[in-house]
Amino acid sequence: MSSETFALVCSMLVEILKLPSADDVEKLPSFIEEASKHAISSTFSHEYDCQFLIPHSLLLLKEALIFCLEGNKDQILHKKVLEDSIVETCKTYLFPWLESAIVDGNDEETLSGILQIFQIILSRASDNKSFKFAEMLASSSWFSLSFGFMGLFPTDHVKSVVYLVISSIVDEVLGFNYGETIRDACIYLPPDPAELMYLLGQCSSEDFNLASCQCAILVILYVCSFYNERLAADNQILASVEQYILLNGGKFPHEIPGSLMLTLLVHLYAFVRGISFRFSIPHSPEAEKTLFHAMTLKEWDLLSSRVHPIGLKWLFQNEELMEPLSFQLLNFCKTVTLSSSGQLVDIQMIAELVYSGETCISSLLVSLLSQMIKEDAEDEVLSVANVITEILVIFPCTSDQFVSCGIVDALGSVYVSLYSSRIRAVCSLLVFNILHSASAMTFTYDDNVWIGLTMKLLDSFNCSLDCTSNDQERKILIGILCLILNHSANKVLIEPAKAIVLNNCLVLLMDGIVQEACAKGPSLFQHNQETAFGELLVLILLLILFSLRSLHVILEASIDWQDFLQYSDDTQSCSFVGIPCHDLCRLMHFGPSPIKLLASQCLLELLNRISFQRSCLNAELRCSAKYLKSIIAVTEGMVFSQDSRVAENCGACLSVILGWERYGNKEKVVIRESKWSRLILEELAVALTAPGLTSKSFTNQQKIAANIAVSLLQLSQVPEWLTSLFNGSLVSGIVANLSARNVTAEIVNLFSELMTKNYLNQEDIAGLHDLFQVCRRQAYEGGGSNAQLPSPEKKAETAVARSADEVCGLLFGMMLDQRTGSCNAGETEQQRLLREIDSFFFQESSLRGQREAAQVSRA
């Protein structure tokens, strides 16, 4: 259309929008949306008639925006779509025009019209649009553009509109009506950034207008810091701010509370000092001293204003500010636990500063915790402890810092004061999380601190503990004892661990719970982790397990592991934390799945320790043949367990016992009389030759059965039934049935043993050789070049317990992690397979070399 027609249509639409009845036209918003978008796009994308057309399109867009924000709400949905479209049009067409205005020198009227539209969006838009629009402008070098506009069009009107838009942006990104300072001083503010720096460095004690300008300048500089904009060089900004501090001493106008302006000044100074430290810019010690004095004596609030991470970090690096910052940090702890929104300084920022290790926040938090405990301020203790816990949730490795800052001493005092169970539970949970996520090196020093805390925790236990108790605090305390024992296995916290395992009250308590569980018989199966007794029994078994894993370190050579192979009635009560093997067998036989798993893990730990000690001392087995038979019977039966973890543990237990055959005749007789091993291996043979005929419960047990077969093949006298089972036809059938898809490290190990014992003929060996070559090639092709090197899997981030109910789950997870990583830690299934295949090839090569040498010798 012609320019005149375009202008006429825009004018008519503007008049329609101004009519009171416009709100009643249902399709008007969608029509105006399309018309205003096309009007702006056509005028701002063509050069011809631009000067004539642009004002009309801008007026239409402005009236459309006002139409959105005013009138009745009957068409709120349609108006919202129109409003979104207008904001998007501003981003797509108007803002790029403003960026080019600095270069092209376009007319002042267009600039003013665009800024007015921006001002309406910033001050009146809905649904958080004003904040998002302000963020978009501020992050697009808006402040530099603004002073460019004022330099390009040096008129009072442009200056007024530009500063008005800046003030609205400040209101959105800072809050607390900080933009009011700019609006109040607008007529006195210069259009040149250099003049702003000059005004900031003047004395304003007698000049209210100058003081008002200085407040506005501080606000503008502070907002610029969040968007990496500089109105002057860093050293010039620092010099001006220091000069302001020295000459004005923190005196502010009455329109804005002095505490808000002091807070802003503190944040701005901290930011420019943090920047100057990076670039070695000299500063004024006198100005720093003056501001620090004001921060100590006057009211200000760390949490009331948005703060730059660089500035926050610099504040917490200054020891001179420890007193005022302690007060601010305590307020932060209270706010973080009582509210979940509107937090300007949030827990993520604090956690990141603690993680950096370059601030004193961790020591401040520990100091606050200690002080609040001494003052019996329960609410404050809860607040600080919860903040430290949240920091550990975000960065578990910060536990090391808190330990080095003395948090154990601070928490230990809770157990000697008359604090409520709620306080003790929160502090105990914090101790648990620190022990769970801190590294072993952290506990190398200050053993006495942990001894003191451990003794206080043990005093909390007594023999009258109700086995059905659901006390949250006691759950956490048992968890703490588990973690101390777990660390002692790495040769740290030895003395605290010794105090635990030798505590008579704890030994009697645990023995009583175990005996009650065993006395329940088949009814024990009903007590899973959902019941109070089941949960307590799980915790007790976890404590026993971690004790068994660390006893060889704690008590060294003073422990006789065969004491665990005696009946409770035949021996004196154990003087340290432990459990007899026959009780573990009862729990395995009658208990629900979690109890079976823990009991089988404890039994495997005991049998391994007994086996190691016997091999070192060449000691005879002191238990009766009947006792050993009962253990074998239980473990053989549990090999068929549906829980593969229980089955693997029992299979490993059986392999350990089979290895005892070389020690004495009693073991030989008992092992030779076993019938279940034959059934297990017959199932294995069927599984490998005809997979479709095996029982469903056995499909996941092939690895276990293969290991048992290896143990039987290694006996000094291999059972006759095993020799007849692995006859030539069966072995050939198994080899023919194998494929690269179903070969495991255990199967390869089994065939290595069969080859060593001459159960394989040359044809079988050749078939296996070709098959394992295929497995090897597929493994390397699938894993790339990295498959050649054992690369430990990336360990998941350490979890943190938020409640007592999560303690048991974390300990159970630790047990499972240590169980899977007990042999060849960090090695994947594929890497284990490759290692066993390489061993098979090496063994095959050696045997072939021996045969060739023998043939040469005979020749």
Amino acid at 127: D
- Establish how many alpha carbons lie within 13 A of residue 555's alpha carbon, considering only the half-sphere containing its beta carbon: 18
Nearest to 433 by CA among 800, 814, 845, 6: 800
pLDDT above 90 as % of the chain: 34
Is the pLDDT score of 694 beyond 50? no
Q: What is the pLDDT of residue 469?
A: 47
Q: What is the pLDDT of residue 364?
A: 94
Is the pLDDT score of 388 beyond 90? yes
- Rg of the chain taking only CA atoms, in angstroms: 39
> Around Cβ 712, how many Cβ atoms within 10 Å?
24
Cα–Cα distances (Å) from 436 to 471, 577, 799, 801, 803, in that order, read: 21, 21, 8, 9, 14
Q: What is the pLDDT of residue 256?
A: 57
Q: What is the pLDDT of residue 711?
A: 87
Is the pLDDT score of 757 beyond 80? yes
SS (H, E, C) 174-216: HCCCCHHHHHHHCCCCCCCHHHHHHHHCCCCCCCHHHHHHHHH
Is the pLDDT score of 791 beyond 50? no
Q: Distance (Å, rounded) from C-alpha 134 to C-alpha 113?
A: 18
Is the pLDDT score of 462 beyond 90? no
Annotate 515-538 with b (16+ C-beta within 10 A) or e (fewer): eebbebeeebbebbbeeebbbbbb
Alpha helices in 339-441 (DSSP H): 347-356, 361-374, 378-394, 399-404, 407-412, 421-437
Q: Is the distance from CB of 593 to CB of 646 less than 8 angstroms?
A: yes
In sequence order, what DSSP letters do the residues of 765-788 get, joined into one string?
HHHHHHHHHHHHHHHHHHHGGGGG
Residue listed under structure tokens 């867009």: 61
Q: Distance (Å, rounded) from C-alpha 652 to C-alpha 636?
A: 10
Q: What is the pLDDT of residue 856?
A: 61
Q: How far apart are the first and last CA of the chain?
A: 110
Q: Is the distance from CB of 813 to CB of 597 less than 8 angstroms?
A: no
What is the rounded average pLDDT of the residues 378-388?
A: 91
Question: What is the signed CA dihedral for 405, 407, 413, 418, rounded to 10 degrees?
Answer: 140
Residue 252 pLDDT grade (very low, low, confident, very high; cuts 50, 70, 90): low
Average pLDDT, the chain: 84
**Most confident range, picked from 63-72, 578-587, 662-671, 717-726:** 578-587
Annotate 744-783 with b (16+ C-beta within 10 A) or e (fewer): bbbbbbbbbbbbeeebbeeebbebbeebbeebbeebeeeb
Is the pLDDT score of 637 beyond 80? yes
Residue 269 pLDDT grade (very low, low, confident, very high; cuts 50, 70, 90): very high
What is the rounded average pLDDT of the residues 742-765?
A: 86
Residue listed under structure tokens 């006429």: 8
Residue 805 pLDDT grade (very low, low, confident, very high; cuts 50, 70, 90): confident
Residue 446: exposure state from Cβ atoms within 10 A (0-12, 13-18, ≥19): middle
What is the rounded average pLDDT of the residues 376-399?
A: 91
Cα–Cα distances (Å) from 116 to 38, 119, 133, 168, 268, in that order, read: 20, 5, 14, 12, 30
Is the pLDDT score of 480 beyond 80? yes
Nearest to 793 by CA among 770, 818, 825: 825
Which tokens sit at 473? 């605090």
> Around Cβ 425, how many Cβ atoms within 10 Å?
20
pLDDT above 70 as % of the chain: 88
Residue 788 pLDDT grade (very low, low, confident, very high; cuts 50, 70, 90): very low
Is the pLDDT score of 774 beyond 80? yes
3-class SS at 804? coil
In sequence order, what DSSP letters do the residues of 467-489 get, joined into one string?
TT---HHHHHHHHHHHHHHHHHT
3-class SS at 592? coil
Residue 405: exposure state from Cβ atoms within 10 A (0-12, 13-18, ≥19): buried
Cα–Cα distances (Å) from 467 to 419, 502, 531, 535, 658, in that order, read: 24, 21, 11, 10, 37
In sequence order, what DSSP letters do the residues of 676-742 get, joined into one string?
HHHHHHHHHHHHHH-GGGS-GGGTT-HHHHHHHHHHHHTSSS--HHHHHHT-HHHHHHHHHH--TTS
Annotate 311-341 with b (16+ C-beta within 10 A) or e (fewer): bbbbbbbeeebeebbbebbbebbbbbbeeee
More confident site: 390 or 737: 390
pLDDT tens across 80-96, in order?
A: 888 899 999 999 999 98
Is the pLDDT score of 362 beyond 50? yes
Q: What is the pLDDT of residue 152?
A: 87
Q: Distance (Å, rounded) from C-alpha 530 to C-alpha 525?
A: 12
Which tokens sit at 115? 């800024």
More confident site: 27 or 856: 27
pLDDT tens across 524-580, in order?
A: 888 877 788 888 899 999 999 999 999 989 987 778 888 888 765 554 456 788 889
Is the pLDDT score of 589 beyond 80? yes
Sign of the torsion formed by the C-alpha atoms of 199, 201, 206 and 209 = positive
Least confident interval from 305-309, 515-519, 596-600 = 305-309
Which tokens sit at 135? 């963020």
What is the rounded average pLDDT of the residues 441-461?
A: 84
3-class SS at 537? helix
Cα–Cα distances (Å) from 482 to 395, 530, 538, 598, 823, in that order, read: 22, 21, 12, 14, 22
Is the pLDDT score of 662 beyond 90? no
Q: Distance (Å, rounded) from C-alpha 623 to C-alpha 625?
A: 7
What is the rounded average pLDDT of the residues 386-412?
A: 91
Residue 855 pLDDT grade (very low, low, confident, very high; cuts 50, 70, 90): low
pLDDT tens across 172-218, in order?
A: 988 777 899 999 999 999 999 999 999 999 988 788 899 899 999 99
414: DSSP letter: G
More confident site: 55 or 278: 55
Is the pLDDT score of 819 beyond 70? yes
Residue 668 pLDDT grade (very low, low, confident, very high; cuts 50, 70, 90): confident
What is the rounded average pLDDT of the residues 572-591?
A: 85
Helices then strands, counting H and E runs in the chain, come out as 41, 0
566: DSSP letter: S
Residue 468 pLDDT grade (very low, low, confident, very high; cuts 50, 70, 90): very low
More confident site: 359 or 846: 359
Q: Whole-prediction pTM value? A: 0.82
Residue 241 pLDDT grade (very low, low, confident, very high; cuts 50, 70, 90): very high
Locate the DSSP E strands across 76-153. Answer: none
What is the rounded average pLDDT of the residues 394-413?
A: 90
Least confident interval from 45-49, 408-412, 787-791 = 787-791
Q: Distance (Å, rounded) from C-alpha 537 to C-alpha 469?
A: 11
Q: Is the distance from CB of 516 to CB of 469 less than 8 angstroms?
A: no
Q: What is the pLDDT of residue 22?
A: 83
Nearest to 239 by CA among 203, 287, 207: 287
Q: What is the pLDDT of residue 609?
A: 92
